[in-house]
Amino acid sequence: MQDKYIDLETLKQEMLTCTMCGFCKQVCPVFLDVGWDTGSPRGRMTMAYGLITGEFEPDETFRERIFQCTQCTDCYRRCPSSAKCPDVVLAARRELVRRGFINPAQTKLVENVCNTGNIFADLDVEFPEQNGEIPLFIGCQHLSRPNNTKKTIKLLQALKIYPKIIREVCCGFPLAIMGFEKEHQEQKSRLESIFPMNGDPMITFCPSCLMHLKKEYGQPVQHVLQIINNKLDDAPLDMIGKTVTYHDPCDLSRGAGVIDEPREILRKIGCDLREMTHVKKESRCCGGGGGILTWDESLSDRMGMARIAEAVNTGAEMIVTSCPTCEQTLKKSARNYAEKNSTKPLPVRHILDLVIKAIK
């Protein structure tokens, strides 16, 4: 076996573990949209196996299907055999990148991170540096919203949570999820050279950063909602008084297991929570996962609208989430859904914005 297959070869047993039962098809948001087996987890398993056996030669259609996976990991949750399809897909992506099957949107994003340290190519990122008791990793998405970030830091201080904030660069998650392993390793080195990765506890705002810091850097990390939830019992609050539905981000719910905390926070600040059909560990992707927002906008939009339809059916006044990418994707999908159905868009809010409003 050639060296170029090494990632896939080590996962060959995972591909053979797949029994082709099809349970994954009923939870995969991509398959539920495209309807083709090649758009399902078991289809991608077959395609990856064909790649290492030489039965398949990758082409643009092959690339499209592999990169349509949202990495929501619901297939792994549902699989009776616990076959690691998400890992196989990432290995297949690395192989495709090695072979040059890359689209311009991916190249641009990689250049942004490598040249500027963030996904938006922003050379004027504002870092609210300060001393504190626990390191806070803010993340690209939240750093792109400096006013909101400052408000959130003031919220933490009001709750007697004192974050230590230093300069940072992208954690490398976007590079890893796209299969750019060389660039990912270089980005990890950049971050480790400026941000202490010494095993001390950390907090973060972003679910994807949280999972990546745990997996790739071995850091003990908590999402900021876990800390906030423990502090709200003693905080003076103004009740929000809204009927809301909560969208579980995939990395926060299935990944980090942070499911109860956001719901407890919503109740503590006076929200009436109405659950969608697919929630908690069975939550559906917002349409922005796995990088698909970058290179398949139409599919992303359709998956997002399916999620908005679930939210609308609850009768809630707004949809709340705790991931900046989910927030961005769902806001666009809410507008698309409203236009299609001649209604007003369902408001989408980040849960931290509601907590900020509730603190007296």
What's the order of all strands across the beta sheet hosting 272-273? 272-273, 243-247, 318-321, 348-350
Q: Residue 229: CA atoms inside 13 Å, Cβ hemisphere, count?
A: 16
3-class state of residue 103 by DSSP? coil
Nearest CA-CA partner of 302 in 340, 247, 356, 270: 340
State residue 5's pLDDT score: 46
Both tokens assigned to 227: 């800390």
Q: Residue 330: CA atoms inside 13 Å, Cβ hemisphere, count?
A: 29
All domains of the chain, ordered by start, with CATH? Answer: 3-98 (1.10.1060.10), 134-228 (3.40.50), 236-358 (3.40.50.11810)
State residue 188's pLDDT score: 97
For every one of its 360 residues, what pLDDT tens digit does the chain have, with 9 covering 90 and above? 234 445 899 999 999 999 999 999 999 999 999 999 999 999 999 999 999 898 989 999 999 999 999 999 999 999 999 999 999 999 999 999 999 999 899 999 999 999 999 999 999 999 999 999 999 999 999 999 999 999 999 999 999 999 999 999 999 999 999 999 999 999 999 999 999 999 999 999 999 999 999 999 999 999 999 999 999 998 999 999 999 999 999 999 999 999 999 999 999 999 999 999 999 999 999 999 999 988 899 999 999 999 999 999 999 999 999 999 999 999 999 999 999 999 999 999 999 999 999 998
Contacts of 324 (CB under 8 A, 6+ apart): 139, 141, 142, 145, 205, 206, 350
Whether the pTM exceeds 0.85: the reply is: yes
**What's the rounded Cα separation, in Å, for the pair 347 and 344?**
9
State residue 256's pLDDT score: 97
**What's the rounded Cα separation, in Å, for the pair 95 and 11?**
13
